A and B are shown apart, each in its own frame.
Chain A
Amino acid sequence: MSDCAVQLCGMSKTYSHFTLRGIDLEVPYGTVLGLIGRNGAGKSTLLRILMGLVRADAGRVTVLGHDMPGDERWIKARVGFVSEDMALYGAATLRWHMHLVRDMHVGWDEARALDLLDRFHLDPDQPVRGLSRGQQVKALLLLAMARHADVLVLDEPTSGLDPLVRHEILKLLAASRSERRALIFSSHYGDDVATLADSVAFMHDGRLIAHAPVGDLLSGGKSLEKVFLEQVSAAECRRAA
């Protein structure tokens, strides 16, 4: 078995206004990959392709040793996904959503779900439409994490949250690290990525312009944002040349 939980090989996707070009990326088990890029850089498209929500035009996507979309159902049963573009049913309660996910996932752990409910201070019987943005993100994380997913894919989970909730979520994600779980998350916040990630991938204009361990990127004493901006400038220069 490969030591990579996720492998992307020459993956491309073209829209009328945007192209994701030849992405090669590997995420080993037990590691955390942070994705950094401007809005529209292709982070969400990449993560959606990984989850089978969007089909790539070319290239190969392998998750936990299985091909996406060939083994889509198998992969989705083992991957947790939370996105800022994702919502729960407003009229239903969190408990109703927990029952829905429990019925569809064999790995659902009720004790873990109750523990997360307690930790997040969520009322399971409150309709979702009454939850704040931060509480809704916590509810989505609860549904993804209470089933012991082997891979967690988080698309800007901390976007638009207040610093306290952001900190709480990062703490939980750090605590959920395990040798057999890979975590991929995109964020606009360099600090979040630096706190959590083992390696960072920079995306710009549909391309992966750099992928390196966090320690290497921060070795010059610069912030992750600063390093990102330098990499973008270098990529622009390469393209111009």
Chain B
Amino acid sequence: MNIKMIARLVRKDCWLMRWPLAAYILAAAAGLAMTASGGPVARSAGITLALNVLIGVSFHVMLGPVLSERERKTLAFVMSLPVTPRDAAVAKLAAAFTLFLIPATIAATTLVWLSPIDIPAHMAASHRPLWSHLLGTLGYYALVLGAWMVFFSVVLGAAIVSESVGWTIGVLTGVLFIFGNFVMQILPALHGLRPYLRALGRGEAALPITIACEAAAIAAIVTIILTLQQRKTSFV
């Protein structure tokens, strides 16, 4: 892989997406500000905005830099530059994660703020050390942002490998169905959920295990994407 070429392609995609990215960052920041203001209406509006940003940026990244290249015939131009298909796929993955992560991190902050455990109040009331609070906050980030990133990676993989809007929407629907049922039905029935969340909020062993599991899932998805990409015989 040629890191310099990959970095240049990532910069290209970020530049082409600069206005939508700015809009998502602004929306995510507005959501965070509303949530932080504390009123019930503002909090509700803030969390709705944060969720919209997460969903919107995920779709936009799939449809913009990933799926539109072939349709707009710019893929032939990119592939005629001195890059291999693997370089191009790695650059697309890196650009997609970069474009997703900036607004998504702000949106996830809003969702963490609204976590079942009121973190600021909890921090003020308890006598736990500061590092424990910080690790606890990181734990909720890991849960919210990490889980969404795993979901995003699966759909991104479908988009990069299939280069088809139909397949991408199909995978998205399937993953949402599984993810939704897991959250709504299976998760509440798990006996270990409350102790796990408590341990996560305190930054105990559950935190590194959660991060490691999510990182392993994302790494596995990226490996599958690159392997499938390698087997392709047409790149335009």
Contact = CB atoms under 8 A, between A and B. Distances in A.
Nearest to A15: B234
Given A48-B236, A104-B82, A53 B76 contact: yes
Nearest to B83: A73
Nearest to A44: B236
A101 to B, nearest CB: 7
Contact of B80 (A86, A90, A91, A92): A86
Contacts of A69: 84
B191 interface: no
**Max chain A C-beta neighbours (<10 A), residue from B2, B77, B236:** B77
Interface residues of A, number: 30
Interface string A80-119: 0101011111111000100011011100000000000000
Interface string B74-116: 1011011111100100000000000000000000000000000
A101 B81 contact: yes
Contacts of A72: 84
Nearest to B84: A72
A91 B8 contact: no
**Max chain B C-beta neighbours (<10 A), residue from A72, A85, A91:** A72
A105 B82 contact: yes
B16 interface: yes
Interface in A44-60: 48, 51-55, 57
Contacts of B81: 76, 100-101, 104-105
Contact of B73 (A51, A87, A100): A87
A218 interface: no
Contacts of A90: 72
Given A87-B73, A89-B16, A100-B12, A51 B82 contact: no
Given A91-B16, A104-B5, A76 B80 contact: yes
Interface of B: 2, 5, 8, 12, 15-16, 72-74, 76-77, 79-84, 87, 233-236
